[in-house]
Amino acid sequence: MKSQLILVPTDLSRLGNRAFGLAEQYRRLYNGVILPVHAIHQPVWPEGIRLPSIDDKNSRELIRMASRRCTEEAEKWTPPEFIDEPFITYGDPVQVIREKAAEAGMVIMSTHGRTGFSKFMLGSVAGKVCRISKTPVMVTNPKDEISGFDKILLTTDFSEASFRAFSEAEFFLSHSDAGVVLLHVVSLEYAGSGADRELLKREAEERLTKIAETHFSAYNGRITTKVIVSEETVHRAIILHLDDSDYNLLIMSTTGRTGLNYALMGSTASQVIQLARVPVLTVRPDAPLNH
């Protein structure tokens, strides 16, 4: 089996480096190789002069130091033979990650930290990467519990776009003994307060069962379905369900339809990755199949 390249962006903060632990758990499943990535922000003088140049002696030394630190952090989790030479460059983190991700099969990153010369929330970076990267992105935040991939929650809003995430769930099913719960949320925010809850739930359950049988017939016994009818927003209903359960990974598409009306799931995914107590794997509907 060809080793999968696993991109691990980090700002070299304690929280940013947390992604290496999650990446190692994923690497073991796929016999992958870890590629640390660090983007150095260039300071800008008031006159608009950008310093330093990437060819500057001090810049080269800064890159060497960052590379060494990336390797040291990665080696805390992963044997050296499974770690590629870190990719260090100047530039905007989102664009650097996007361009480098095209070479990888998975991006695994944290949501909070510091980057370059200014403080900011990596959550905004992670959210942007999830939206623009055609490579699947797995995100961990300080709230989540990294404990393997034994019980996985997979969401669908019944759209074809949401089905693209199913291939990632199938990967875990085929490489481990994991169980998957296929979830659909019927939000009364979209259905209306006067909707027949029992009818909505029954119709959704029937539809969800057929989808599970169609897409996961090879994994009978390891796939279960669940429908939640909630007055909450979709992302809030997902978070509440996670808080009441023992999942250790959430897989979802970044775009699709939610409830009974059209709505972008991209906003749902971006809010979920900030609040989930488990790592979240997001997949764009137009992402190529990597497995």
Q: Of 15-24, 82-91, 101-110, 253-262, which range is least confident?
A: 253-262
Do both 24 and 126 map to the same domain? yes
For range 185-213, the mean pLDDT: 86
Residue 29, domain member (yes or no): yes
For range 258-265, the mean pLDDT: 38
Q: Of 79-93, 115-129, 183-197, which range is least confident?
A: 115-129
User: Which of 140, 162, 191 is where one domain is finished?
Assistant: 140
Share of the chain above pLDDT 70, in %: 82
Do both 208 and 128 map to the same domain? no
pLDDT for 116: 40
Residue 15, domain member (yes or no): yes
Do both 136 and 178 map to the same domain? no
Residue 33, domain member (yes or no): yes
Check whether 43 has a pLDDT greater than 70: no
Do both 155 and 136 map to the same domain? no
CATH classification of the domain holding 114: 3.40.50.620
Residue 290, domain member (yes or no): no
Q: Of 39-53, 57-71, 213-227, 273-287, which range is least confident?
A: 39-53
Burial class of residue 137 (count of CB atoms within 10 Å of its CB; 0-12, 13-18, 19+): buried
Q: Of 72-81, 254-263, 272-281, which range is least confident?
A: 254-263
Residue 63, domain member (yes or no): yes
Q: Which two tokens stand for residue 98?
A: 């996007």
Could you report the per-residue pLDDT of 61-97, keeping only the tens digit for each? 889 999 999 999 999 999 999 999 999 998 889 999 9
Do both 105 and 17 map to the same domain? yes
User: Which of 140, 172, 187 is where one domain is finished?
Assistant: 140
> Total domain count for the chain?
2
Range of the domain at 185: 151-283
Do both 12 and 116 map to the same domain? yes
pLDDT for 3: 65
Instruction: Kindly give, in sequence order, each residue whose CB lies less than 8 Å from that of residue 161, ignoring residues fewer than 6 positions away.
Output: 253, 255, 256, 257, 265, 285
Do both 157 and 187 map to the same domain? yes
Residue 288, domain member (yes or no): no
Do both 65 and 162 map to the same domain? no
| Closest by Cα among 149, 148, 157, 151 to 191 | 157
